[in-house]
Structure 1
């Protein structure tokens, strides 16, 4: 059985640090954007054609045109983060934060003392991709609060990894691996 390649444990933590900052900004932007605003306040106060006011319990995201939902700064930044997660899943060797770590940061550090299997961090990128895409799709489907909740969930996971080395997606990978659902080849039936 071929040996699994190992990666420097500091690389995923470095990437999680940058990702956490981006997700914190995306959470803030989505909290002040149309995802959490009421339709009867601000520029959504009047319907464009009829001039009638929206009911006080109407969310801005539910009456905003698709273009306005897409142009929301929180949506755009979370979309960029989702693309970065997809890049990390599809081609981790060329993902921007990994390349930056290997070319700029790692040469300035002492040789790595710890290595890890690259599959759990890659799986964690997939979990981050799933969470952010669900938030993006629900936002486009006019679900209030979906965008900031998804961004905040992804932020918490990235922050825990960056600050404490606790990778929630990696832990999920290990649980699924122990259950025999991923990561191990099952013996073929005799």
Structure 2
């Protein structure tokens, strides 16, 4: 078993929390909450294990679960966090500059991506990372 990679349940847990954050952002129009999420994505782009969500998972949730059957490469998750950061920065810019429609559209995109990952295990950013790697190798 690969013990150096990520427990795949951690990013899914983080995606559920991110889904909740984006629902609140869309309901309240809070660019400041979106900015807080952008900071979390920025940390995750460096190391997903160091985000507040990753720390909550590692210290409060994971000890109550059986060890993961396998681990995953953190590189696709870091890429997905970077994509989330870009979408969230546009969300923040939209809400805080008064371009509310822009904020809503990008928050909705981020919500869909987080929801798909959190509830179905489909990480769009991870899939994009793998596709880019395949295209570069071709």
Equivalent in the alignment of 1:67: none
Q: Distance in 2 between matches of 1:141 and 1:104?
A: 37
With structure 2 as the length reference, what TM-score do the two structures score? 0.90
Instruction: Tell me which of 76, 94, 110 is aligned to 1:138.
Output: 94
Deviation for aligned residue 1:4: 9.7
1:13-162 residue pairs with structure 2 within 5 A?
13-30=12-29, 74-162=30-118
Report the alpha carbon displacement of residue 141 of structure 1 after superposing the two structures with TM.
4.1
Structure 1 Cα separation of the partners of residues 95 and 53 of structure 2: 27
- Larger CA Rg, structure 1 vs 2: 1
Residue 97 and residue 27 in structure 1: after superposition, are their counterparts in 2 closer, same or farther (change >3 A)? same
Q: Which runs of 5+ in 1 are unaligned?
A: 31-73, 182-190
TM-score (norm 1): 0.67
1:164 counterpart = 2:109: no
**Could you list the per-position Cα deviations for residues 31-51 of structure 1 after superposition, in whole angstroms to 9, with x for gaps in the alignment?**
xxxxxxxxxxxxxxxxxxxxx
Who is 1:61 aligned against? none
Provide the residue aligned with 2:136 in structure 1. 180
Check conservation: 2:11, 2:48, Cα contact below 8 A.
no
Match in the other structure for 2:8: 9
The structure with the largest helix share of the pair is: 2
CA contact (8 A) 1:5 1:118 kept: no
Q: Does the CA contact (< 8 Å) of 1:7 and 1:117 recur in 2?
A: yes
Structure 1: which 4+ aligned runs deviate by more than 6 Å?
none
Any gaps of 5 or more consecutive residues in structure 2?
none
Q: CA RMSD in A?
A: 1.8
Answer whether contact 2:12 2:117 (CA < 8 A) is retained: yes
Contact 2:48–2:77 at 8 Å: present in 1 too? Answer: no
Deviation at 1:129, TM superposition (A): 0.3
Quickly say closer, same or farther: Cα 1:164–1:106, change in 2 above 3 A.
same
Q: Distance in 2 between matches of 1:79 and 1:174?
A: 28
